[in-house]
Amino acid sequence: MKKIGVFVCWCGSNIAATVDVKAVVEACKKEPNVVFAEDYQYICSEIGQNKMADAIRDYKLDGVVICSCSPRMHEATFRKTAEKAGLNPYMIEVANIREQCSWIHKDIEEGTEKAIVLARTAIAKVLLNAPLQAGESKVTKRALVIGGGIAGIQSALDIADAGFEVDIVEKKPSIGGKMSQLDKTFPTLDCSACILTPKMVDVSAHEKINIFAYSEVEAVSGFVGNFTAKIRQKARYVDTAKCTGCRACMEKCPSKKSLNEFNAGLDTRPAIYIPFAQAVPNKATIDPNACIKLKTGKCGICSKVCTAGAIDYEQKDQIIEREYGAIVVATGYNIINLDKFNELGYSDCKDVITSLEFERLTNAAGPTKGHLICPSDGREPKKIVFVQCVGSRGLRPCDKQYCSKICCMYTAKHAMLLREKHPETEVYVFYIDVRTPGKNYDEFYRRAVEQYGVHYIKGQVGKVIEKDGHLEVQASDLLADEQLHIDADLVVLAAAIEADDTARKIGTMLTASMDTNDFFTEAHAKLKPVESPTAGIFLSGMCQGPKDIPDTVAQAGAAAVKVIGLLSKDTLKCNACVASPNENMCNGCSLCATVCPYGAITYVDKEFRIPGGVQVRRVSQVNEAICQGCGACTVACMSGAMDLKGFTNKEIMAEVESICK
């Protein structure tokens, strides 16, 4: 027979004022299996805890019920005391007779009656409780960072500086991401390359960091502390060990017509290329879609000019399998496709450009060496119109519903830099709202208006058409209640940003939840901003939502700290209240696996001894390290094989019965 002890707390007068504590004790003594019941002023106090521990030892209790405040308050305290006294911590049940009884009822008779029912219910449950043991799993002390932009770089550096190995997987030939394409950064106007490239060099020189550039994550399996990732290293057709980055091949390559992605397609590059001067790794890559040798088998000029003998047309994709303890997602963003915005003429007029193209046009390392010209005929623009919120904050299918966050600031930056370099140009910015929260941000925007004389106009551009080599911009000025017709040379669109197109694939691979915009969701919007709900997955940068460089770096550092915290442990303690299937009842239908939000359930073929032989059946298996104990599977299971430890069907049924008695 199980021996149960009951403690009823007074909580000073908090409980004792509206619940007759003595009567509860007496009622509990009458319950079956209860061998001990006592009341005390404050059970959570040290004396109260000692009393509890003594009772557990003296009466050799198998379970304890404490009638006190909410279990959310002191359950952990009571469990610790029980464990110290030699009782399994999960053999403790708390009957909430304060928040859910004494505090809400004024009549002592009513309160006592309810408290007795609650105590009885807890006794009924604890009688069915089984001792639980939280499992443990080991931690692989290496982190994977997916994406090599500023977010990935910062996270990798911080993790590596703490002494853990880090692998960065970047799909492009070089790390650096979008930040490497930018000219200046707001609000300080430092040159983007000047602050980014040293970090890129740090990454490549760091002994703990391994860069897999021109690679993609193909598959991820496992769970927190024990992930296994398959990384596809795409064929560069260049032996990176031999390539010195001398660029002789780039000069001699006869196929020079490919659009240069790094310059936002504003100029062309050869088929064999290094994307930009400070690329890390500084190794050439052959674009198989452009290379004459790879397409037709004739050419091979690059291999002739390469003194290092690095060219290898036979190179194949390689699959690398590595184990990781934690994964940081830093897949970043892209700007949206503007083909659907034909009123703004992006696809028809060459002089309508995106802000990213504008960055490249003003960048000293860009296609025009920083000399701002109209892409159509190379003339210097005299009148420039910036349009904000193109595709942001809209409800049409081509729009994004969110604010892209960075456009207000970079447009102010563009306008300011323009007026500084070319004071004779007229600059108009059409805005809906100017959103510049952030340290020194609003001051920055005001400087653009007050010091640099940028014309900010509250209104939108309705139409852009090309006429006689100029752009006719029709727009509204809401404050003046006028329709404006501006004869502009260049129109710059602040296109909305969207999650990178690989994000969805990676999210599915990691079973990390995402929102409808393909941004990764955080485990808690306020309190767990860099963790994914899936344990062991952390979020860094734009993949979680629009943010600027300072925010990205801050978040990247925060994600790194979480990774370091995880990797510094040798083993992880799992949640003890996890789902567990009864293999004898499981029919292998997979329903539980489909409802599990964490991918904790897998299937295995298992041998079962049956009369006259052995039968192989497919049964479900719960990975206790991943299961968070929500119980969705227990209800989905049709054969009733799945149960949740600590909240078993029998336990809850007993509670129901006890209440309805």
Partner 1 sequence: MQVENKTFKPTIVAFCCNWCSYAGADLAGSARLSYPAEVKIIRIPCSCRLNPMFILKAFQRGADGVILCGCHPGDCHYTTGNYYARRRMTTLFSMLNYLGIEKERTRVEWVSAAEGAKFSAVMNDFVATITALGENKKLEDLRCKK
Partner 2 sequence: MQNLKLREKIEEMSGVSVLKCMRCGKCSATCPNYDEMEFHPHQFVYFVEKGEIDKLANSKSIYTCLSCMACVERCPRQVEPAKIIEAVKLLQIRKQGNNHLKPEQVSVSLDPELPAQALTSAFRKYSK
State the Cα–Cα distance between residues 598 and 623, nearest whole angstrom: 10
Does residue 187 have a cis peptide bond before it, meaning omega lies within 30 degrees of 0? yes
Residue where the block lists tokens 């925007």: 445
399-458 positions binding partner 2, by CB under 8 A: 399, 432, 458
Which of partner 1, partner 2, none does residue 101 bind (CB under 5 to 8 Å by kind)?
partner 1
Which of partner 2, partner 1, none does residue 474 bind (CB under 5 to 8 Å by kind)?
partner 2
Q: Is 636 in the site for partner 1 (CB under 8 A)?
A: yes
State the Cα–Cα distance between residues 1 and 202, nearest whole angstrom: 67
State the Cα–Cα distance between residues 127 and 2, nearest whole angstrom: 7
Q: What is the DSSP letter of 541?
A: G
Which of partner 2, partner 1, none does residue 399 bind (CB under 5 to 8 Å by kind)?
partner 2
Residue 116's alpha-carbon distances to 19, 21, 241, in angstroms, are: 9, 9, 76
Which of partner 2, partner 1, none does residue 442 bind (CB under 5 to 8 Å by kind)?
none
Report yes or no: 78 and 67 within 8 Å, Cβ to Cβ.
no
Report yes or no: 301 and 254 within 8 Å, Cβ to Cβ.
yes
Does residue 281 have a cis peptide bond before it, meaning omega lies within 30 degrees of 0? yes
Nearer of residues 111 and 325 to partner 1, judged by Cβ: 111
Nearer of residues 66 and 387 to partner 2, judged by Cβ: 387
Question: From the list 460, 582, 621, 649, which residue makes contact with partner 2 (rule: CB under 8 A)?
Answer: 460
Which of partner 1, partner 2, none does residue 114 bind (CB under 5 to 8 Å by kind)?
partner 1
State the Cα–Cα distance between residues 117 and 448, nearest whole angstrom: 70
CB of 447 to partner 2, least distance (A): 25
Q: Is 495 in the site for partner 2 (CB under 8 A)?
A: no
- Binding part of the chain for partner 1, among 30-38, 58-66, 583-591, 648-656 by CB under 8 A, reads 648-656
Nearer of residues 110 and 343 to partner 2, judged by Cβ: 343
User: Which residues have CB under 8 Å from 247's CB, separation 6+?
Assistant: 274, 284
Residue where the block lists tokens 């004869």: 487
Q: How many residues bind partner 2 (CB under 8 A)?
A: 21
> What six digits make up the tokens of 194?
């000047």
Which of partner 2, partner 1, none does residue 421 bind (CB under 5 to 8 Å by kind)?
none
341-360 positions binding partner 2, by CB under 8 A: 343
State the Cα–Cα distance between residues 222 and 142, nearest whole angstrom: 14
Q: Is 121 in the site for partner 1 (CB under 8 A)?
A: yes
CB of 433 to partner 2, least distance (A): 8
Nearer of residues 394 and 599 to partner 2, judged by Cβ: 394
Which of partner 1, partner 2, none does residue 462 bind (CB under 5 to 8 Å by kind)?
partner 2
Which of partner 2, partner 1, none does residue 389 bind (CB under 5 to 8 Å by kind)?
partner 2
CB of 102 to partner 1, least distance (A): 8
Strand bridging mode 333-335 / 352-354: unpaired
Q: Give, to the nearest 10 degrees, the angle between helix 150-161 and helix 192-205.
A: 40
Question: From the list 68, 96, 226, 392, which residue makes contact with partner 1 (rule: CB under 8 A)?
Answer: 96
Nearer of residues 322 and 458 to partner 2, judged by Cβ: 458
State how far Cα 386 lies from the chain centre. 32
- Binding part of the chain for partner 2, among 137-145, 164-172, 332-340, 390-398 by CB under 8 A, reads 390-398
Question: From the list 421, 463, 569, 573, which residue makes contact with partner 2 (rule: CB under 8 A)?
Answer: 463
Instruction: Measure CA of the first residue to CA of the last residue in the chain; give whole Å.
Output: 23
- Binding part of the chain for partner 2, among 161-169, 260-268, 460-468, 602-610 by CB under 8 A, reads 460-468
Question: From the list 95, 274, 475, 535, which residue makes contact with partner 2 (rule: CB under 8 A)?
Answer: 475
State the Cα–Cα distance between residues 616 and 622, nearest whole angstrom: 19
User: Which residues have CB under 8 Å from 297's CB, separation 6+?
Assistant: none
User: Which residues have CB under 8 Å from 114's CB, separation 6+?
Assistant: 97, 101, 105
Residue 603's alpha-carbon distances to 14, 227, 640, 648, in angstroms, are: 51, 18, 16, 22
291-320 positions binding partner 1, by CB under 8 A: none
Which of partner 1, partner 2, none does residue 99 bind (CB under 5 to 8 Å by kind)?
partner 1
> What six digits make up the tokens of 114?
């309810």
The 3-class SS string of 196-252 reads HHHHHHHHHHCCCEEEECCEEEEEEEEECCEEEEEEEECCCCECCCCCCCCCHHHHH
Report yes or no: 404 and 387 within 8 Å, Cβ to Cβ.
no
Residue 419's alpha-carbon distances to 414, 416, 461, in angstroms, are: 9, 5, 21
Q: Is 394 in the site for partner 2 (CB under 8 A)?
A: yes
Give me the 304-343 binding string for partner 2, x by CB under 8 A, dash otherwise: ---------------------------------------x
CB of 318 to partner 1, least distance (A): 35
- Binding part of the chain for partner 1, among 176-184, 317-325, 477-485, 647-655 by CB under 8 A, reads 647-655
Which of partner 1, partner 2, none does residue 630 bind (CB under 5 to 8 Å by kind)?
partner 1
Residue where the block lists tokens 């306008």: 415
Nearer of residues 100 and 210 to partner 1, judged by Cβ: 100
Q: How many residues does the chain have?
A: 661
Which of partner 2, partner 1, none does residue 84 bind (CB under 5 to 8 Å by kind)?
none
Residue 235: name the closest of 275, 294, 180 by CA: 294
Residue 102: name the closest of 20, 15, 39 by CA: 15
CB of 598 to partner 1, least distance (A): 8
Which of partner 2, partner 1, none does residue 577 bind (CB under 5 to 8 Å by kind)?
partner 1
494-513 positions binding partner 1, by CB under 8 A: 513
Task: List the Cα angle 288/294/297 in 5-degree steps.
Answer: 165
State the Cα–Cα distance between residues 395 and 589, nearest whole angstrom: 41
Which of partner 2, partner 1, none does residue 58 bind (CB under 5 to 8 Å by kind)?
none
State how far Cα 524 lies from the chain centre. 11
- Binding part of the chain for partner 1, among 64-72, 327-335, 433-441, 615-623 by CB under 8 A, reads 64-72
Q: Is 99 in the site for partner 1 (CB under 8 A)?
A: yes
Which of partner 1, partner 2, none does residue 432 bind (CB under 5 to 8 Å by kind)?
partner 2
Binding positions for partner 2, rule: CB under 8 A? 343, 389, 393-396, 399, 432, 458-463, 474-478, 481, 483
Binding positions for partner 1, rule: CB under 8 A? 70-72, 96, 98-101, 103-106, 110-111, 113-114, 117-118, 121, 513, 521, 533, 577, 595, 597, 628-632, 634-636, 644, 647, 649, 652-653, 655-657, 659-661
